[in-house]
Amino acid sequence: MNNIAFVDECVAKKAISFAALQAFAQKQAPYLVKNVAWAAQTQVGHWMDVVAEWKTMLGPDWDQTYAASNTIYVTRQNNILFSVLAQFFGADAINHRLLLIETMSFTTTPADMLQSMTRIIADRSVGALFFGNYHLMDYELMGGDARDAIIAEDEKRGLKQVLPPLVPYGSHQFPTLITPGPGTATLPKFP
């Protein structure tokens, strides 16, 4: 009802002032928080049912199944489908058989996903053949050497190092942000 009243008010005034928009946003925010929670519960419930059915259908072949979810880089934190899949695949499958594929697009076609998965799996064979490590190519190949070079350059320039923690090849960590920061981490806790 707030949205209709706001639209009617703006139409009557033939203008949308920032103050009016701000007042509407403050009035509407508590309802939006509830809508987001409901949407999350609905989506999680749906995907839990779907993946449970897939796991039942595949039976013992589930342990050889690969899965991938796509994400735009800024939304990889708490990615819903990937997190649901992790509940069924287990922690050991993360970054092995369960992949989070970052894209530039909001949507990704099945062909795009298959191409990405095929590339990842093919690259793993290259890493195993040349370096003796199946997961080496999952990482920025020059990342370790570049890290050492960055540390050396930081020291020369008197810069404070700003680097993520080293993660071993074949890590089963969630492929998301891992460092805590200040502030609120969930929508209901925003002031």
Judgement on whether residues 15 and 106 belong to the same structural domain of the protein: no
Judgement on whether residues 22 and 94 belong to the same structural domain of the protein: no
- pTM > 0.85: yes or no: no
**Tens-digit pLDDT profile for residues 113-127:** 999 999 999 999 998
pLDDT tier, 177 (very low <50, low <70, confident <90, very high otherwise): low
Residue 178 has pLDDT above 70, yes or no: no
Judgement on whether residues 101 and 11 belong to the same structural domain of the protein: no
The pLDDT assigned to 176 comes to 65
Judgement on whether residues 86 and 131 belong to the same structural domain of the protein: yes
Q: What is the C-alpha end-to-end distance of the chain, expressed in Å?
A: 23
User: Among 1-10, 116-125, 168-177, which is the least confidently predicted range?
Assistant: 168-177
Whole-angstrom distance, CA of residue 171 vs CA of residue 78 = 18
Nearest to residue 88, comparing CAs of 98, 75, 79, 102? Answer: 98
Judgement on whether residues 81 and 132 belong to the same structural domain of the protein: yes
> Is residue 132 domain-resident?
yes
Judgement on whether residues 19 and 74 belong to the same structural domain of the protein: no
> Is residue 61 domain-resident?
no
The pLDDT assigned to 61 comes to 97
Judgement on whether residues 130 and 162 belong to the same structural domain of the protein: yes
The pLDDT assigned to 67 comes to 94
The pLDDT assigned to 88 comes to 96
Whole-angstrom distance, CA of residue 75 vs CA of residue 132 = 33
Judgement on whether residues 171 and 83 belong to the same structural domain of the protein: yes
Judgement on whether residues 41 and 125 belong to the same structural domain of the protein: no
Q: Which residue has better confidence, 138 or 81?
A: 81
Judgement on whether residues 109 and 150 belong to the same structural domain of the protein: yes
The pLDDT assigned to 35 comes to 93
Judgement on whether residues 153 and 74 belong to the same structural domain of the protein: yes
Residue 1 has pLDDT above 90, yes or no: no
Judgement on whether residues 119 and 30 belong to the same structural domain of the protein: no
* Enclosing domain of residue 106: 66-177
Q: Which residue has better confidence, 76 or 1?
A: 1
Can you read off the two tokens belonging to residue 21?
A: 């928009």
> Is residue 82 domain-resident?
yes
Number of structural domains (the chain) is: 2
**Tens-digit pLDDT profile for residues 63-115:** 999 999 988 876 667 789 999 999 999 999 998 899 988 888 777 888 999 99
**Tens-digit pLDDT profile for residues 23-63:** 999 999 999 999 999 999 999 999 999 999 999 999 999 99
